[in-house]
Structure 1
Amino acid sequence: MCRSIKTLRPPMTPHVEDEDIRAAAVQYVRKVSGFHHPAAHNEAVFDQAVSAVAEATRRLLDGLEVRGPSGPE
């Protein structure tokens, strides 16, 4: 669906920054809403959705338990 969103979990991305999470959230909300830049009357709800997706993504990444090989060498 969102091909421009990169995998953020370790070991695929060893150092995930808040900016990485927010960028992925923006891409997701853009794809789902169909708006690259929302109109002024939709900006607040768009921004709220980005924040909610970013928060959920952070909780997901913080809760994942990665087992097995440490990834590509």
Structure 2
Amino acid sequence: MVPEVHDEDIRAAALQYVRKVSGFRAPAAHNQEVFDAAVAAVAAATAELLDGLEVRGAAPARVAG
């Protein structure tokens, strides 16, 4: 069975990824905009991936909301 993935899960994973690759847990004010944009881009790419996956015999991977 494929576990349900909610929008909050996707955003949390995106935030963790951006923190890891940037080396910043919380960016300085002058980096906040680009940091937030990266989180949004990673989250969108992840949602697109999950929405496009087809797992035979399983429920949808992602539940919006």
Which interval holds the TM-score relative to the shorter structure?
0.7 to 0.9
Superposition RMSD in Å: 1.5
- 2:48 matches 1:59: yes
Which deviations, in whole Å up to 9, do the C-alpha atoms of 1:8-33 show, x marking residues without a partner? xx61x2x2111000000000000010
TM-score, normalised on structure 1? 0.73
Name whichever structure is richer in helix by fraction. Answer: 2
Count the aligned residue pairs: 58
Identity across aligned pairs (percent)? 72
Quick one: distance in 2 between partners of 1:60 and 1:26? 17
Q: Does 1:19 align with 2:3?
A: no
Aligned to 1:7: none
* Alignment partners' CA distance in 1, 2:17 and 2:5: 17
Question: Comparing both chains, which one has the higher relative contact order based on Cα–Cα distances under 8 Å and sequence gaps of 6 or more?
Answer: 2
Distance in 2 separating the partners of 1:22 and 1:55: 9
Q: Which AA in structure 2 matches 1:50?
A: V
Q: Write 1 or 2 for the structure with the bigger share of strand.
A: 2
* TM-score (ref. length: structure 2): 0.81
